[in-house]
Amino acid sequence: MTRVKAWVSAARLRTLPLSISGIIVGSALAYNAGAFRWDICVLALLATLGFQILSNFANDYGDGVKGTDNDERIGPARAMQSGLLTAAQLKKGIIFTALVTSFLSLALIYTAFGADEFLKSLVFFILGLSAIIAAVKYTVGRGAYGYRGLGDFFVFVFFGLVAVKGTYYMFTQEWNFEVLLPATTIGLLSVAVLNLNNMRDRQSDARVNKNTLAVIMGEKKVKFYHYALIGIAFLAALLFFYLTNTWKWSSVALLVFAILIKHLVYVMRNVSPALLDPELKKVALSTFFFSILFALGFLF
């Protein structure tokens, strides 16, 4: 495999559609409010992709150094695990990606708020810096929060609340309580993807002391947790469409939950963690298609 293909493998392109779902929803809400701007949208998408790729590099490095990625791992082989990239190379990749993402974030903040809104710029600069730290600290270092059952919380905050609510605010510079509802939907569906990953790896993670919620809860309880994530995500979307009276077009996005119900039945009947791996793609793409249908509804 060439060096370029090795970096593409480490970037895990299949995770990228999920990462931009919140940006699409936040942008659609801004469009509905008459505040959409292409420059903010494009920069937000690029910055978010940077955060996700940074997180993927850091996860590859962190789990590789700790020995979590080993022969018992069920999912696709990581770049460091399979010898495509060394720890030193991944470390340089993390630093480079963090710098590029920082530049994109600063450009986004300046484009959204200009030079006069110092306080707003400072708040979003802190959010951007926090996102970079969170992307790296998920698996890297002794205090890696992904090894202490906190990954779900941070995914909900950054993939849901920050992505949707933060994007909407950058366009409109207005707070809107109702925006929290689709932000909750995207956040919980993103957590569901992570939870599936942790359910798949529960046994191997337990052996290397990676205490995800799947490890902490155990096989039966974590399934009920998974049902709750998707069920509450559906209710939040339903409540949003009801409160905003946007049933006519945007509610077509609810169709993706028909796929997710079938997914939940599969999870309920599953007895082999390895067979959960294909389900990650289904939930991630369902979240992405929810955001696309949501946005198309407002365009119409």
pLDDT in tens, 150-175: 999 999 999 999 999 999 999 999 98
Higher pLDDT, 298 or 26: 26
Region 66-91 average pLDDT = 70
Q: What is the pLDDT of residue 59?
A: 85
Region 263-273 average pLDDT = 94
pLDDT tops 90 at residue 11: no
Q: What is the pLDDT of residue 221?
A: 95
Q: What is the pLDDT of residue 74?
A: 62
pLDDT tops 90 at residue 15: no
Please tell me the total count of domains within the chain: 1
Q: What is the pLDDT of residue 142?
A: 77
- For the stretch 18-31, pLDDT in tens is 999 999 999 999 99
- For the stretch 89-124, pLDDT in tens is 899 999 999 999 999 999 999 999 998 888 999 999
pLDDT averaged over every residue in the chain: 90
Write out the residue range of the structural domain in which residue 207 sits: 3-299
Region 65-73 average pLDDT = 62
pLDDT tops 70 at residue 126: yes
Higher pLDDT, 156 or 137: 156
Phi, psi angles (nearest 5°) of residue 26: -60, -40
Q: What is the pLDDT of residue 115?
A: 83
pLDDT tops 70 at residue 69: no
Q: What is the pLDDT of residue 299?
A: 81
